[in-house]
Structure 1
Amino acid sequence: MTRRTRRGQKAGSGMAGAFTPDALEVAARHVVVGGEHVASFAVVGYPREVYPGWLQPLLSYPGRVDVSLHAEPIDPVTAADRLKKQLARLESGRRNDDQHGRLLDPQVEAATEDAYDLAARVARGEGKLYRTGLYLSVHAPDAAILVDEVAAVRSLAASLLLDAKPATYRSVQGWVTCLPLGLDQLRMRRTFDTSALAAAFPFTSPDLPAPDPTSLEAPSGVLYGYNLGSQGLVHWDRFALGDQVHNHNSVILGRSGAGKSYLVKLEVLRSLYRGVEVAVIDPEDEYRRLCEAVGGAYIHLGANGARLNPFDLPLHTRADGRRTAPKDALLRRSLFLHTVLTLLLGGEPSAVERAVLDRAITGTYQRAGITADPRTWARPAPILADLRDVLAGLDDPRAASLADRLHPYVDGAFAGLFTGPTTTRPESHLVVFSLRDLADELKPIGTLLTLDAIWRRVANPANRRPRLVVVDEAWLLMAEKAGAEFLFRMAKSARKHWAGLTVATQDSGDLLGSDLGRAVVANAATQILLRQAAQAIEEIAATFGLSAGERQFLLSAERGQGLLSSGTQRVAFEAIASDIEHQLVTTAPGELAAYAAESPDTGDDIYIDLDDTDTGVAAA
């Protein structure tokens, strides 16, 4: 049966008439308002855990859907009394089932656990309880389209674990409830606590905030992927200092196979589109194809003739061609050599040995004609063999012992990296230092020397520009105290030189298991967590303050899915790449073999012109 009402002339006059429909046709499950069909629903079932902005899919539905959220606070005394009665009912049911030998109901167990947790938080004053009603009104131009729209909205609600029931024979009350009048005439309510209600607030969003919310410009920064909690994309600009971004550093943690290096290479490529200069320490030779595609410089440490001399002074070439250096360049280089020797000697020297090394370092520079006079700093730097000879010439048994311990790196099996002056000083928008062919014993010192070479370029005051320094598999350096200290100093100083440090590792224990590692994480404004192993999730959760839902997400995340966190903002995303980008950054053996089979003569023939802005935008 359908009832039709029409307002009279008198009722339509005045301000109220502007908001009153000309006609209202009422049916069992919908109303027709001014020729538009409206069906209303009340949500009676909710998910156990929610995240901020979890109602965003309903708010961004392409059709017209009104979402109405009614909240009424509950007096704390009344809330405590109701929780006590609810716990009594749940416990009574559990004990009754146990006495009769029935199997435990998982839903009852979950409800009991949640009730205890909620009661504890209410008792401590950490939250309050609210009577909350969530209602939906679906609009359509005719009855046939309304049926389709209702089915689509209910399916969307079901995907969010919401049970939406139609307001049968209460269609007018449902329509009025969804109007902006503050009237809840359906009164299908559920008790929410403060955090759950805040997450359901219609104006919250799972997207990262824009640096300038009032700007109409397109989001700046790098595209990381699409948001798993909304229909938006995740753009993040590490160089846009503000309330959320205090430095340009980033840390990426993920278990093997989680897509860590894939994401890092995507960020490197898309940063190059923006004119950011990038230097990469690549322990597994994974960045070579990307480097060749963009015309970067590739340095293969471990190959014949590839050397880095730790004695080189940090000289900078100015625009007029003159070479300059900081006033304390020689002192800084001597201190850095102590770090290098600590790694080479396999442990921290004693105080007496450190004093012997300090005298030997000074003597080595003096034999090369380099003194405290800056005019001598442009002379050829000594090499490690010169230091060994100075130590051997000292009349001290400790110096002789140190010289013997340096023998493998001067004349022995590990001498290739130190047998002469530095062979290359690359100048390119992308520089990749490959460490794959270095012996395992040399990879920590190789990482340290490449970081030093990169830092000298970053710290050049005559060539300031945004730069990224990527340390992949940082556990190689964090395993040694001297290397960890150097990385920590770089993390603290990078922002002053317009540079960002990216630390990526699959062994989170080496990074979070030491004070220096945790300090590196604390100095990273951007933190990205990919899939984690069950053995490491407790430490990860404690360090980053993860909720139970976020922990479960990281344990079950697919490859390329993760959490991007900066300040108080945290967003779940999945990395996306174009076909060309995917070919450049993937390391899947099957895919690489297929690409090689497609072009057996030329091999990887992809080339990206970074000066062509259209190419960069299309690939991103």
Structure 2
Amino acid sequence: MPYRWSTRAILLDKTDATKVLTKIRRQWFAKRKSIAAIVREVMTNDASVLVDNDAANKAADADLALQSLGADDVGQAYITATVTVWDGSASIAAEKLRLVEKIIQGRDFTCMAESLNAVEAWLGSLPGHVYANVRQPPVSTLNLAHMIPLSAVWAGPEQDGHFKAAPLFYGKTAGATPFRFSLHVGDVGHTLIAGPTGAGKSVLLALMALQFRRYMGAQIFAFDFGGSMRAAALGMGGDWHDLGGGLTDDHPSEEQGSSVSLQPLAGIDDPDERKWASEWLGQILAEEGITLTPDVKAYLWSALNSLASSPFHERTISGLVALLQSNALKQALAPYCLGGPYGRLLDADAERLGDANVVVFETEGLIGSGAASSVLSYLFHRIEGRLDGRPTLLVIDEGWLVLDDGNFSGQLREWLKTLRKKNASVIFATQSLSDIANSPIVPAVVESCPTRIFLPNERAIEPQIMAIYRDFGLNNRQIAIIARAASKREYYCQTQRGNR
């Protein structure tokens, strides 16, 4: 229910406060005895035994207030506290007012529903209006500190401080204060999303990708699993590539994602690109059981130098194999040539990858295959080449697949440490915090992801799982919130600035 609670304090200087308190003390002291009792005392010359103890106590309270004021322990102020509710329907507004009265009176406070004085009361609740609806008598500043609403629910930053633009999105909350979510804390936008499968992780990733397009010049690269971001990518006019063919094979009539082909050696006429190609091919050979001796590296480098002078369309892995002087190396690279199991992806004579601002790679059919490491390593390289300072979002869904591979986890660690300088943010999503806790890159994830989003997990209060949550800085109260949250509807955000 929306409401506005305002507290106005008109502070009194010491002289005025002393006058007011002295007057109040005198008035209460005079009420200790009635007029009849005073007349009787005068006539009988005998002090009255009966005294109004309530008036005497209040006179003593006023005296204590004067002592505190004189010692400069507290000050005095005219306090006006107002709670305003509203609605388009008078009956509903009256019902809201009744609920507010019930809550306030339930806390042993007295409240009054305004009628004839409603306009004055409303004016007194507005900043800058110091004459309307002034309530007396004065209240000490100590009581003011007890009653004034000095804290409120954290609503998130008003804008993304790094982009100097609006927050990424607004989230609905259980209360009346919406939550403004921004990726960046300072200039670091890396984010960790963790929660069990089916808790709403993929929907959140798609929403974040859609909302990230609000920033001028933004580009998005996502490694999806299960096609959950397919609709979002196509809806943004982006490219969706099914690297393993697992999803497009089920829908052969669809053109999107059916023509992925890569040409990793296309740019080796550039010395830096040729150096990268040498390292990339070395990783492939190592996975095929080839020991990278100096002779092997020399054969590889010589073939790359020769291939660099060939026409663009001939700079393929098949072209490289034809130039190699070692049969062992040719056999090791044969699966990556046309006719081999992975040649469809990596041995094209022209790269058909697209240059859209939104690119999503479906990895479900690729993960677990022998080409996964080489394909993803090349795509990482291509993405790094497109980081030119524009706002960039890198989404890695089902991150446990990345953590299981040493090369991928090393690449992720490097991204978390360096991509901040290129205005890029990494969103890393995984099904379980234990995947990260058992990974050698856990220090990099914990230190480099100032924003963490935890999905509902009813098992979070189990001792073993609770210990993992504690390692990520959550206390018992926060863990209980995660355990009670509604799946696919609620999320818990933890940042250095606040939690919600």
Alignment TM-score, normalising by the size of structure 2: 0.63
In structure 2, the residue matched to 1:206 is 154
Query: Match for 2:210: what amino acid?
Result: L
CA distance in 2, matches of 1:261, 1:383: 36
Query: Match for 1:292: what amino acid?
Result: L
1:336 to partner: Cα distance: 3.7
Query: Match for 2:234: what amino acid?
Result: E
CA distance in 2, matches of 1:335, 1:482: 12
CA distance in 2, matches of 1:224, 1:447: 33
> Relative to 1, partners in 2 of residues 1:504 and 1:212: Cα closer, same or farther, differing over 3 Å?
closer
Q: Equivalent of 1:232, from 178, 192, 197? A: 178
1:137 to partner: Cα distance: 6.8
CA distance in 2, matches of 1:310, 1:361: 15
1:481 to partner: Cα distance: 0.4
Percent identity between the aligned chains? 20
1:271 to partner: Cα distance: 1.2
Q: Equivalent of 1:468, from 375, 383, 393? A: 393
1:269 to partner: Cα distance: 0.7
Aligned-partner SS, 2:492: strand
Contact 1:254–1:529 (8 Å) recurs in 2: yes
CA distance in 1, matches of 2:209, 2:395: 8
In structure 1, the residue matched to 2:191 is 250
1:386 to partner: Cα distance: 4.8
Q: Equivalent of 2:376, from 425, 440, 447? A: 447
Query: Match for 1:208: what amino acid?
Result: G
Query: Match for 1:359: what amino acid?
Result: A
In structure 2, the residue matched to 1:64 is none
Query: Match for 1:556: what amino acid?
Result: R
Contact 1:249–1:501 (8 Å) recurs in 2: yes
Aligned-partner SS, 2:449: coil
> Relative to 1, partners in 2 of residues 1:547 and 1:274: Cα closer, same or farther, differing over 3 Å?
same
1:538 to partner: Cα distance: 3.0
CA distance in 2, matches of 1:145, 1:221: 33
> Relative to 1, partners in 2 of residues 1:139 and 1:387: Cα closer, same or farther, differing over 3 Å?
closer
Q: Equivalent of 1:563, from 478, 492, 496? A: 492
CA distance in 1, matches of 2:207, 2:475: 28
Cα RMSD after superposing both structures? 4.4
> Relative to 1, partners in 2 of residues 1:511 and 1:388: Cα closer, same or farther, differing over 3 Å?
farther
> Relative to 1, partners in 2 of residues 1:482 and 1:386: Cα closer, same or farther, differing over 3 Å?
farther
Contact 2:373–2:407 (8 Å) recurs in 1: no
CA distance in 1, matches of 2:263, 2:419: 23
Q: Equivalent of 2:411, from 471, 486, 490? A: 486
1:157 to partner: Cα distance: 7.5
1:490 to partner: Cα distance: 2.1
In structure 2, the residue matched to 1:328 is 272
Contact 2:221–2:359 (8 Å) recurs in 1: yes
CA distance in 2, matches of 1:140, 1:453: 57
Query: Match for 1:457: what amino acid?
Result: R
- The reply to whether residue 292 of structure 1 matches residue 234 of structure 2 is yes
1:339 to partner: Cα distance: 4.1
Query: Match for 1:487: what amino acid?
Result: L
> Relative to 1, partners in 2 of residues 1:139 and 1:518: Cα closer, same or farther, differing over 3 Å?
closer
In structure 2, the residue matched to 1:181 is 140
Contact 1:433–1:450 (8 Å) recurs in 2: no
In structure 2, the residue matched to 1:608 is none
TM-superposition CA deviations, 1:40-72 (whole Å, max 9, x none): xxxxxxxxxxxxxxxxxxxxxxxxxxxxxxxxx
The count of corresponding residues between Structure 1 and Structure 2 is 380
CA distance in 2, matches of 1:333, 1:177: 82
Aligned-partner SS, 2:213: helix
CA distance in 2, matches of 1:381, 1:157: 80
- The reply to whether residue 544 of structure 1 matches residue 472 of structure 2 is yes
In structure 1, the residue matched to 2:244 is 302
Contact 2:191–2:428 (8 Å) recurs in 1: yes
Query: Match for 1:207: what amino acid?
Result: A
Aligned-partner SS, 1:488: helix
Larger Rg: 2
Q: Equivalent of 1:509, from 434, 440, 448? A: 434
In structure 1, the residue matched to 2:363 is 435
Q: Which runs of 5+ in 1 are unaligned?
A: 1-13, 21-135, 169-174, 190-199, 239-243, 316-324, 371-375, 573-620
1:485 to partner: Cα distance: 0.9
TM-superposition CA deviations, 1:74-114 (whole Å, max 9, x none): xxxxxxxxxxxxxxxxxxxxxxxxxxxxxxxxxxxxxxxxx
> Relative to 1, partners in 2 of residues 1:361 and 1:517: Cα closer, same or farther, differing over 3 Å?
farther
Contact 2:394–2:424 (8 Å) recurs in 1: yes
CA distance in 2, matches of 1:554, 1:455: 35
Q: Which runs of 5+ in 2 are unaligned?
A: 1-14, 22-79, 86-90, 112-133, 246-257
CA distance in 2, matches of 1:471, 1:314: 28
CA distance in 2, matches of 1:156, 1:355: 80
Contact 2:398–2:431 (8 Å) recurs in 1: yes
> Relative to 1, partners in 2 of residues 1:140 and 1:260: Cα closer, same or farther, differing over 3 Å?
closer
Contact 1:360–1:387 (8 Å) recurs in 2: no
Query: Match for 1:256: what amino acid?
Result: T
In structure 2, the residue matched to 1:130 is none
In structure 2, the residue matched to 1:529 is 454
Alignment TM-score, normalising by the size of structure 1: 0.52
Contact 1:245–1:526 (8 Å) recurs in 2: no
CA distance in 1, matches of 2:310, 2:136: 80
TM-superposition CA deviations, 1:126-154 (whole Å, max 9, x none): xxxxxxxxxx977699xx99996674236
> Relative to 1, partners in 2 of residues 1:492 and 1:272: Cα closer, same or farther, differing over 3 Å?
same
Contact 2:453–2:493 (8 Å) recurs in 1: yes
Query: Match for 1:469: what amino acid?
Result: L
TM-superposition CA deviations, 1:416-454 (whole Å, max 9, x none): 222324531412221222234436314454433332222
Aligned-partner SS, 1:433: strand
In structure 2, the residue matched to 1:456 is 385
- The reply to whether residue 520 of structure 1 matches residue 479 of structure 2 is no
In structure 1, the residue matched to 2:167 is 221
CA distance in 2, matches of 1:523, 1:510: 17
> Relative to 1, partners in 2 of residues 1:421 and 1:492: Cα closer, same or farther, differing over 3 Å?
farther
Aligned-partner SS, 2:141: coil
Aligned-partner SS, 1:571: coil
- The reply to whether residue 365 of structure 1 matches residue 304 of structure 2 is yes
Report matched runs for 1:313-324 at 5 Å.
313=267
In structure 2, the residue matched to 1:271 is 212
In structure 2, the residue matched to 1:6 is none
Aligned-partner SS, 1:262: helix
> Relative to 1, partners in 2 of residues 1:232 and 1:386: Cα closer, same or farther, differing over 3 Å?
same
CA distance in 2, matches of 1:387, 1:509: 42
1:183 to partner: Cα distance: 5.2
In structure 2, the residue matched to 1:419 is 347
